[in-house]
């Protein structure tokens, strides 16, 4: 059959570079759609030969979007590499910083990146369908969103000394205590932050009610789901075992981060620089799974904080207690996690141990190998280092959140393209839905490809004979 090709490059309102190619049939239907991740800088190779203790300050350079996640995962890997577990107060302070990152990253995604689609509509003129258009339409909401993000950033700044590329976690602990006045300042931000998320939840639920038909046909498919969990399978973002549940919600596996290579394999495809992780025992493609907010809230049984747990109960009822398969519910899950992170900030700050000066373990039991894992905003992040007896790194392996979701993003793009696109002339709003399928996962392509930056969008519609039929361009 003759096919046409539509290319969306790069996808907008995500972090980094990506390209979508849509292959059309002659009858105007979509044959298949593929997500390509373009750039690759080889950060893992670049780190070889460096000293393990440099990693908490080197790896945040991978990404201007989620430096804190790399900073903390690197410190955790280094703790293990030198056999110096961080004392409890240091663990609490690291988690506090991590919650700051979750709040600011998720807050930005919901209100600024996804918000324009949700509040203004997928089909709104793209000149208005952005954060400025949103601020114009609802200035009060925009202000709440800005303040929510600022709350998260302030936590990072207080602990890390600056808002980006923090200098805080070191092998064996952290290098700064939390002062009483700083703790009290953080606590004053709790209530307004909770109110901002509740406004977001109101928006989400109202939107879901009005767009139920879309939600139920927009990239809905089964997969496995992955998250770190507490010993009783509650949500855990900083520490804990890795839990993998299957499409039916039953536990497939629970394992310590250090043995991740026994459970996760990575597939290479020649059309993408980003590998495709999957659950080894089930093989490819049966063993594919999702991470990030939707993956986590499907992989855990409960949340330890009251407001977020109440929302999680509602979330899990959406599919009668079975995992929620709808890609657009990533947005709902993301809001629930902001609520969880704010409540964790409060719980951590109300625990007197957070002010302790016992923040660094100086005793070592050098092992030369360490795995650090945490739940970055976008999903499970692994840092795995091997070093020689002088502490020089001989091997570095990273599996980033967006990598775990590589299959899911491609699947979502294909599904949405087939559901919504009919040719030969494709409406902009339909292509925006394809982008939204990627955007829902909040991919950090800076991390996945280790390349920073954004380019304008170009969408080419190409006929089977190679003739350019249609070009859409956004700068
Ligand atoms: Mg890797
Ligand atoms: Ni990143």
How many Å lie between the centroid of ligand 1 and the Cα of residue 242? 18
**Local structure of 157: helix, strand or coil:** helix
Q: Tell me what pLDDT residue 458 has.
A: 47
Is residue 238 a contact partner of residue 98, using CB atoms and an 8 Å limit?
Answer: yes
pLDDT band (50, 70, 90) for residue 467: low
Order of strands across the sheet that contains 3-9: 30-36, 19-25, 3-9, 457-462, 468-474
**Tens of pLDDT along 244-268?**
999 999 999 999 999 999 999 999 8
Rounded to an integer, the average pLDDT of 143-170 is 90
- Local confidence band at 450 (pLDDT 50, 70, 90 cut-offs): very low
How many angstroms separate the alpha carbon of residue 99 from the centre of ligand 1? 25
Per the prediction, the chain carries an average pLDDT of: 89
Ligand with an atom nearest the CA of residue 401: 2
Element of type H or E holding 251: strand 251-255
Between 413 and 41, whose confidence is greater?
413
* Ligand that comes closest to the CA of residue 277: 1
Distance 400 CA to ligand 1 centre (A): 7
Cα 419 to middle of ligand 2, angstroms: 30
Residue ranges with CB less than 5 Å from ion ligand 2: 63, 65-66, 444, 446-447
What pLDDT is recorded for position 163? 60
Ligand number nearest to the C-alpha of 66: 2
Q: How far is the CA of 42 from the centre of ligand 1 (A)?
A: 9
Closest ligand to the CA of 443 = 2
Please tell me the predicted confidence (pLDDT) of residue 41. Answer: 61
Distance in Å, CA 241 to ligand 1 centroid:
20
- Residue 446 Cα, ligand 2 centroid: separation in angstroms? 5
Fold of 43-404: Cytochrome-c3 Hydrogenase; chain B (1.10.645)
- Domain ranges in the chain? 3-39+424-474, 43-404
Question: Which of 152-166, 175-189, 221-235 has the least mean pLDDT?
Answer: 152-166
Rounded to an integer, what distance in angstroms lies between the CA atom of residue 338 and that of residue 199?
A: 12
The number of the ligand nearest the C-alpha atom of 62 reads: 2
CA 292 to centroid of ligand 1, rounded, Å? 18
242 versus 44: the higher-pLDDT residue is 242
How remote is the CA of residue 397 from the centroid of ligand 1, in Å?
Answer: 5
Q: Kindly give the distance from the C-alpha atom of residue 277 to the centroid of ligand 1, in angstroms, as a whole number.
A: 10
| Nearest ligand to the CA atom of 273 | 1
pLDDT at residue 32, rounded to an integer: 85
Average pLDDT value for residue range 387-405: 94
Q: How far apart are CA 407 and CA 108, in angstroms?
A: 24
List the 251-255 sheet strands across, edge first.
251-255, 241-245, 224-229, 289-290
> Is pLDDT of 318 > 80?
yes
Write out pLDDT tens, residues 84-128.
999 999 999 999 999 999 999 999 999 988 888 888 888 888 788
**Average pLDDT score over residue span 212-223:** 96
With contact defined as beta carbons under 8 Å apart, do 66 and 380 qualify? no
Q: Is the predicted pLDDT of residue 299 greater than 60, yes or no? A: yes
Measured in angstroms, how far is the CA atom of residue 70 from the centroid of ligand 2? Answer: 8
């Amino acid at each position: 059959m003759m096919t046409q090709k539509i290319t969306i490059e790069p996808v907008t309102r995500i972090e980094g570079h990506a390209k979508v190619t849509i292959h059309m049939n002659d009858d105007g239907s979509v044959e298949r759609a593929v997500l390509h991740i373009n750039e690759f800088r080889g950060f893992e190779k670049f780190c070889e030969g460096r000293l393990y203790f440099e990693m908490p300050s080197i790896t945040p350079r991978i990404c201007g979007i989620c430096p804190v996640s790399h900073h903390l995962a690197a410190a955790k890997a280094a703790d293990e590499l030198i056999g110096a577990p961080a004392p409890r107060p240091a663990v609490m302070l690291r988690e506090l910083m991590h919650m700051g990152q979750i709040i600011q990253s998720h807050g930005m995604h919901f209100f600024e990146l996804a918000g324009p689609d949700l509040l203004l509509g997928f089909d709104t003129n793209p000149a208005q369908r952005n954060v400025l258009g949103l601020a114009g339409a609802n200035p009060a909401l925009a202000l709440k969103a800005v303040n929510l993000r600022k709350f998260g950033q302030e936590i990072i700044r207080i602990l890390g000394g600056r808002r980006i590329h923090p200098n805080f976690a070191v092998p064996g602990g952290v290098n700064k205590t939390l002062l009483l006045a700083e703790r009290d300042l953080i606590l004053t931000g709790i209530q307004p932050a909770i109110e901002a998320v509740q406004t977001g939840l109101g928006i989400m639920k109202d939107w879901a009610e009005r767009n139920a038909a879309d939600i139920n046909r927009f990239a809905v498919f089964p997969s496995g789901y992955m998250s770190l969990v507490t010993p009783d399978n509650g949500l855990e973002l900083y520490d804990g075992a890795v839990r993998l549940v299957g499409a039916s919600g039953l536990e497939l596996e629970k394992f310590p981060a250090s043995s991740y290579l026994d459970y996760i394999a990575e597939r290479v495809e020649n059309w993408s620089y980003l590998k495709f992780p999957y659950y080894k025992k089930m093989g490819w493609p049966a063993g594919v799974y999702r991470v990030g907010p939707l993956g986590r809230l499907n992989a855990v049984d409960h949340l330890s904080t009251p407001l977020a747990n109440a929302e999680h109960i509602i979330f899990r009822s959406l599919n009668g207690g079975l995992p929620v398969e709808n890609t657009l519910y990533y947005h709902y899950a993301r809001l629930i996690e902001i609520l969880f992170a704010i409540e964790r900030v409060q719980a951590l700050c109300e625990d007197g141990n957070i002010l302790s000066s016992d923040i660094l373990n100086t005793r070592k039991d050098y092992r030369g190998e360490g795995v650090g894992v945490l739940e970055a905003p976008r999903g499970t992040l692994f840092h795995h280092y091997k070093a020689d007896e002088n502490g020089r790194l001989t091997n570095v392996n990273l599996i980033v959140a967006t990598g775990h979701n590589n299959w899911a993003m491609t699947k979502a793009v294909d599904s949405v393209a087939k559901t919504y696109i009919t040719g030969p002339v494709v409406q902009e709003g339909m292509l925006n839905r394809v982008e939204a399928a990627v955007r829902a996962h909040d991919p950090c392509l800076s991390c996945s490809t280790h390349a920073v930056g954004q380019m304008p969008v170009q969408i080419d519609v190409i006929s089977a004979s190679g003739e350019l039929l249609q070009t859409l361009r956004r700068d």
